[in-house]
Amino acid sequence: MESPFKAARTGHPVLLSKALDRIEQLEDITPLNLGIIKTILLYTPNQKLFDDITTYDTTTIDELANISTIGFQAIRAWGGNTSSLASSRATSSPSGSATASPSTARPGQLRDKLTAAIMSKNLSLVAPASNLGHKFMALLGIKKEFPDLPEEREPRPRIFRDLVHLRQTDLCQFSGGDLSVAGQTAHLFPYSLLDLESARNKITWRFLVIFLGEELRDQMAKALISPEYGIHSPCNRIALFSGLYGQMDKGFLSMIPIRESQPPGRFIDIRIVWHLPHPLVIFSTRLPANPEDQYDYDEEGNPSTRVLLDAHETRKHGVYRIGTSDAVLLPIPSPILLFWHSWIWKVLGSAGFGVSLALKKDQGVEQTPTSSPRSRKRKCEWTDEDESYQVSAGVNDLDSESEDVPFVPLDSM
């Protein structure tokens, strides 16, 4: 399967080189904004933006960097969990001057004092103007400002989470662990951004249409909304054991679609990708290595029940099948949203909105243990022997009687 998030620079190395040289020669542009614009050049799928960016003056480039920074900030906050990020960033006073906010990050989160120091450099912005982005929409000939999203964002009843659990037969998609013990539902696209009543979200959606282009923006919006469930579509969700959920929520874990059923909708096979300083991760699973063997199938070829091994196996990443017994009522995750999730974390890292665990260790930041109401055995710690970051999961989390199974970044693949 091919990702729709194909950089416009692909096949145009000479144009990219000239564009980078032109950006480097601009005067009165801050190093931060310069880095943001380079990321836009390297990753934008919008061909017209890539072609035209060298014609913009310094003021226009700065405005593009500002709207991009606001967009990256909102996306980096992810699935509605804005409190931890907001508490660790510099906010804007009504007068437009930056003021520091106290940190209230919960124990176990990787957004501690070091994160706050890094993020505050990126997010110290004056209050954005309500019309920010309109200039670029005119320059790029964008006709439709926002996608077709519901005017009012409905609350998230538990039934929508249960639909994802039902699709996955109450098992973690990758480990096979019991979701009723320690499971959480993750969003591929930030749920918090689906509220267009927020001024910052409006600016973020303007940034997305500038960065992606109208066609790709509309494809994503279509995948986010379903006739049956509105903005709560299972197409934007996947349920994971809470240890894996934490890695996905922090941008360390994503999924790349590699094949889908014919006709589409019955299953999709994905490959796990880790965005960690140590690129090799070992984790425990009860699912067979061959995705074909991870389900039993009904007479029509629909995945029906999950197949679990008698004992846990440790794996690097592997290929996993996400299937459904009912493609209409329990749809599988959307391929475009899966591609988006993996792609956007690469973009965020390039723009300086990722936090390196290796940097955290070098600075001697102490990692506090995590805990959850249903399991108190999960912990995060640095192991000096192999200089790796280890996340150990309690036996209750994996629904196993074995000892704690580590998630350990080791050598490069």
Q: Name the least confident of 67-71, 121-125, 296-300, 367-371.
A: 367-371
- For range 338-349, the mean pLDDT: 92
CA 227 vs CA 32, 151, 164, 187, 232: distances in Å: 42, 15, 16, 18, 10
More confident residue, 109 or 351: 351
User: What is the pLDDT, as a whole number, of residue 172?
Assistant: 92
- For range 267-292, the mean pLDDT: 82
Question: Cβ distance 231 to 313 under 8 Å?
Answer: no
Question: Cβ distance 377 to 404 under 8 Å?
Answer: yes
**CA gap 255, 248 in Å, rounded:** 9
Question: Cβ distance 308 to 299 under 8 Å?
Answer: no
- For range 65-71, the mean pLDDT: 93
More confident residue, 266 or 386: 266
Torsional sign, CA 238, 310, 401, 247: negative
**CA gap 126, 109 in Å, rounded:** 27
More confident residue, 296 or 248: 296
More confident residue, 361 or 298: 298
205-235 burial string, b = 16+ CB within 10 Å, else e? bbbbbbbbbbebbebbbebbbbeebebbbbb
365-386 burial string, b = 16+ CB within 10 Å, else e? bebeebebeebeebbbebeeee
Question: Cβ distance 352 to 124 under 8 Å?
Answer: no
User: What is the pLDDT, as a whole number, of residue 385?
Assistant: 33
Q: Which residues contact 134 (CB under 8 A, 6 or more apart)?
A: 206
Torsional sign, CA 397, 402, 408, 413: negative
Residue 283 has pLDDT above 60, yes or no: yes
pTM, rounded to two decimals: 0.75
Q: What is the SS3 string spanning 5-43?
A: CCCCCCCCHHHHHHHHHHHHCCCCCCHHHHHHHHHHHHH
Q: How confident is the model at residue 17 (pLDDT cuts 50, 70, 90)?
A: very high
Phi/psi-derived region of residue 169, left when phi > 0, alpha when psi is between -120 and 50, beta in every other case? left
pLDDT, the chain, mean = 74
Residue 126 has pLDDT above 70, yes or no: no
Q: Name the least confident of 113-122, 147-156, 202-211.
A: 113-122
Residue 292 has pLDDT above 70, yes or no: yes
**CA gap 132, 224 in Å, rounded:** 25
Q: Which residues contact 302 (CB under 8 A, 6 or more apart)?
A: 266, 323, 324, 325, 326, 327
- For range 136-146, the mean pLDDT: 90
Q: How confident is the model at residue 111 (pLDDT cuts 50, 70, 90)?
A: very low
- For range 278-296, the mean pLDDT: 83
Q: How confident is the model at residue 131 (pLDDT cuts 50, 70, 90)?
A: confident
- For range 384-394, the mean pLDDT: 33
The string of DSSP letters for 111-145 reads -SHHHHHHHHHHH--PPPPTTTTHHHHHHTT---S
Which structure tokens are listed for 309?
A: 């091994």
**CA gap 68, 46 in Å, rounded:** 14
Q: Which of 87, 153, 159 is nearest to 120 (CA)?
A: 87
CB atoms within 10 A of CB 97: 11
User: Per mean pLDDT, which of 33-42, 129-138, 267-276, 312-321 is the most reliable?
Assistant: 33-42
| Count helices and strands in the chain by DSSP H and E runs | 14, 14
Strand, coil or helix: what is 84?
helix
User: What is the pLDDT, as a whole number, of residue 318?
Assistant: 87
User: Per mean pLDDT, which of 4-18, 238-252, 277-291 is the most reliable?
Assistant: 4-18
pLDDT digits (tens, 9 = 90+) for 87-98: 333 333 333 333
pLDDT digits (tens, 9 = 90+) for 194-253: 888 888 899 999 999 999 999 999 999 999 887 778 788 899 999 998 888 888 887 888
Question: Cβ distance 142 to 210 under 8 Å?
Answer: yes
- For range 183-188, the mean pLDDT: 89
Omega cis (within 30) before 45: no
**CA gap 283, 56 in Å, rounded:** 48
**CA gap 293, 133 in Å, rounded:** 49
pLDDT digits (tens, 9 = 90+) for 305-334: 999 998 888 877 789 999 999 998 899 999
Task: Kindly state the DSSP code that residue 155 receives in the 8-state scheme.
Answer: P
CA 321 vs CA 120, 309, 365: distances in Å: 39, 15, 37
Percent of the chain with pLDDT over 90: 38
